[in-house]
Structure formats: structure tokens, C-alpha cells
Structure 1
């Protein structure tokens, strides 16, 4: 018999005034409860109750133990209630990992609403373009835009497709001409993302399903998609971006599509989180929110 159960038994016997009443309430025999209290007395090395045929009376040690029992059991009850409420409502600190471009361009559209719905929740944002280890860096959820997820113990929930397209500033195309075929791209510089294995290589699929792979000269490389975006808007060359990176600039005309009939391999937006039998309410709340948010097409042509 564990000590917590023993304390609950002792308190019940004292509160009800007899072993018989306590046994009836607990649904066990009088003998079982009497044996539990005797084991408790042997464990503590002192007598807690004076037993007579008519009544039970606490000893001085029993009264002291009863006061401690009452306080401890009430604290346990309060703790269980608080934990139960904590599990039902998202609360605490949610550590969210995102790529820098996604953080700068996307979170402002939905994160304020998400946080506003959960007043007991604080968000700790980790922006990085490297492939972080969620377990090592204690990240609850990471939103990743990728064409490949390595095998791991992580769970990945697919949120949306992320189209990749070629873009350039209208001023650049006016000065250097607009390529109308893949071969014509060889005369134009590509603004390359240096974290890719082959920043200058493009794989294109045509409207009839034909495929071309080509290398473009490189005028600028950078490890930041946002820096490349600024360079493309500034007219330094042609760039390939996920549509969410170029979306607002395409909408207001700072960038325009290049070879719109040809497509690049698309990528996928995932919510990635550590595998566990128990998913914390704060994590579940975020997963459900972003799943619903990105179920709608957010980056219209």
C-alpha cells in the first residue's frame, strides 16, 4: 500500500468516525481498512488511533498526522484540478520554429488571431533557415517548406502545396529582354539561394510535359531568401521563389512571372513536431489552427 493511499484511508476513517463507515464508503471490507491503518502505524513507528468497541480516538501523534494529511491531500486535489484545467486549455510557452522568410511574410497574417484566441498562451518564435533539431533545441512545432523530409521520429502534418516559380522585376526585363524559352534563360543571371546543393541549376517542366535541366550564370548568391527577394525587386536578375515569398510583389507588380508556362518542382508546407503518445493542448491547438488556415488557397495567382 503506498503512502498516499494510506493517508487517504486514515483521513476517511477519522472523518467518518469508524472503520465500518469508511469501509462502506470505499467499497471494501472493515478488515482491509483496519489492516491498512496498522501498516501505516508500523511504517511511522507510532500509534495513530486508540480503538475501543464504541469509538475511535486519535492519539497526539494521530492528530498531528491528520493535520498534515489534510493539508497534503487538499494540495494534491488542487494540483490535480489545476493540471486538468491546464490540459484542457492551451497554456504555457509554445516554442515555434519557422524559416525566416515564412516568419516575415506569413506569420503576420494569422499569428495575432491565434494568440488572441488563447490568452494563457505565450509564443516563443525561433526563426532560422537551417534544418534545426527539434528535440535538441526544445522546439514544440516547426513549420517547414521543403521538397524532402528526412526519415526521423518526427511527425509531419501536410498543410499546403508551395508552388515554385521564376520571377523578375519589370525593369530588369525591359533592359535585358524577356526570355520566352528555357534556352533563352542561359543569357540571364540567376539569383541563387546558396543553401541549395546546386544554386544555379533549374529543372523545368513544359506545358506538354517535356523536361529541361539547365544551368544559369549567377550574379548574386545569398543564404537569405529575403535578401534575394530584395535583389530581384531591385532588378539584379531572375530568381526562383516559393509563391508565398513573391506573392505580394507579384500582386502589386514589383515582380512578374518568367516562363509562366513552364513549372519548377513544387514544395510542401509541413507542421513538424516530435512523436509522442501525448500531444500537449498548446501543440494541438496550433496544429488544428494552421491546418484549417492553409486548407484555403492563400497565394492566389
Structure 2
């Protein structure tokens, strides 16, 4: 339960993925280390939404912060996805928003061996916490929780 009269049911944690279009990557070498991002066009959420740094952790445990100087900044992840597909640069998005694009080859992962820190998103269902939840609401909550429990396609990216 969370504050007052609302109930929050966590459904899934969605990992972030650094992605770019094959077209964009054809014009310059794919980054192999977060420091390589300084030679790339970065597409990022507005600083007031996410801050101005991306944090990476390598396979050896090394942590690397990257100060962002984005070419394109917007407060909408759908627009960031579209910009990446259009070949405008590299971005980080929740995996559930790009898993189909990765499967279709519209986007490819970059820096896949690096974990992106502090960017995981929790998707939750929030509903009124009355003493007696209506049957329709309870049915919807149960269905949604079960549906997400069975989904695994965006927790493990290609």
C-alpha cells in the first residue's frame, strides 16, 4: 500500500537498453565503451525529466558516468524512439518500448555488455484502496497481474 487511499501493485521492472538504428551506425563506428559516446549524437530525455548523466557499469564492475550533451532532448520516450529509428543518434529507452524494433532490425543494441544504472523503470497498477474493491476492478487487477507475470519478452533483450 502506498499513501492514503491508493493501492500500488508493482507489475514488472523494465530494464533500459541503449539503442540506435542500423542506418545511424553505418555512418560511424558503434561505441564499445561509454566514453565512445562523446563521438556520437545522443538522444536523451529532457534534463528536468532524467538529469544530465547516464551511468554505466561494465562487466568488470567499473562504473562510468557520462555527462550528456544531447543533440536532441525531449520529454517523451515515444519521440526518442522515433528519433532513434529515424537514424538521429543513440538513446536509452525502456526495453519494453524497443523489443519489437530490435526483433525487426529497426534498432540495434549498443553497449549491450554494459549495465545502465539507475534507469530501470517500474510499471505499477494503481487503484483506489477502498475497503471493498468492486468486482470489475478486482478482476482487472487480477488479470493484469497475471498477464505481466507470464510476460518475459522484454526482460531479456536480444
Give the TM-score of the pair, scaled to structure 2.
Answer: 0.87
> Rg bigger for which structure?
1
Whether contact under 8 Å (2:49, 2:75) holds in the other structure is no
User: In proportion to residue count, which structure has more helix?
Assistant: 1
Aligned to 1:273: 127
Please report the RMSD computed on the Cα atoms of aligned residues, expressed in angstroms. 1.5
Alignment of 1:1-301 (within 5 A): 152-153=3-4, 154-194=6-46, 196-198=49-51, 200-264=52-116, 265=118, 266-296=120-150, 297-299=152-154, 300-301=156-157
Shift of 1:166: 0.4
Which stretches in structure 2 are left out of the alignment for 5+ residues? none
List alignment gaps of at least 5 residues for structure 1. Answer: 1-150
Q: How many residues align?
A: 150
Q: Higher strand share goes to which structure?
A: 2
- Deviation at residue 218 of structure 1 after TM alignment: 0.8
- More RCO (CA 8 Å, sep 6+): 2
> TM-score w.r.t. structure 1 length?
0.47
> Shift in Å at residue 211 of structure 1?
1.6
Aligned partner of residue 176 in structure 1, secondary structure: coil
Cα drift, residue 249 of structure 1:
0.6
Contact 2:41/2:71 (CA < 8 Å) preserved in 1?
yes
